[in-house]
A and B are shown apart, each in its own frame.
Chain A
């Protein structure tokens, strides 16, 4: 599975959109981009995933560039409860193992 690069930390103001970048320049054509988050010591929580097209659900939007070498997770209106470590993961199939990196520590401030 391709490796990903994320900034180690980001701050975001409550109520504003949080845009979390992820680089995956070695992604293959059959690899999906997954986003998870982990709120302090809780189990990781699935957010969203995509292959080529942009995706949106009740939690977030996922924007994947046309060349698929990078993506952005957008939390449209960040709340204090969105403070967490966010992980961008690339893997080839929907049920294979997830390899977690260091992720991005997002802190939402009032």
Chain B
């Protein structure tokens, strides 16, 4: 158990809909990262937040947005969903100095 909690574990929704994925980081971790892993694709970095502020942005679509709240949990919002958005979405958290990032078990999103 990495200490990073993601909910829900599975999500099935229709095209055009909007969903919210939630991530609770490890206690004390200020940084949260979001990654996408599509079938047969590698792990793609989406976005990083540090203590509520956006720190780095990767290949995140404009239809996607994220935020980190004062209690440090984070949400990834995916809107106008397309079939190609079906993927595993992972959240990770880390301290500023230490042993790197620890990942949650992911949310499997299926868009039908």
Contact = CB atoms under 8 A, between A and B. Distances in A.
Contact of B105 (A34, A43, A103): A43
A58 to B, nearest CB: 13
A81 interface: no
Contacts of B56: 96-97
B98 A94 contact: yes
5 contacts: A43-B4, A43-B90, A45-B2, A94-B95, A98-B33
- Label chain A's interface by main secondary structure: loop
A36 B98 CA distance: 15
Nearest to B94: A95
Given A43-B90, A43-B106, 12 more contacts: A41-B88, A41-B106, A41-B108, A94-B96, A94-B98, A95-B94, A97-B45, A97-B48, A98-B45, A99-B45, A100-B45, A102-B42
Interface in A39-70: 41-46, 49
Interface of A: 34, 36, 38, 41-46, 49, 94-103
Contacts of B35: 100
B58 A97 contact: yes
Contacts of B99: 46, 49, 94
Contacts of B103: 43-46
Contacts of B105: 42-43
Contact of A46 (B90, B97, B100, B108): B100
B97 A44 contact: no
Contacts of B90: 43-44
B100 A94 contact: yes
B104 interface: yes
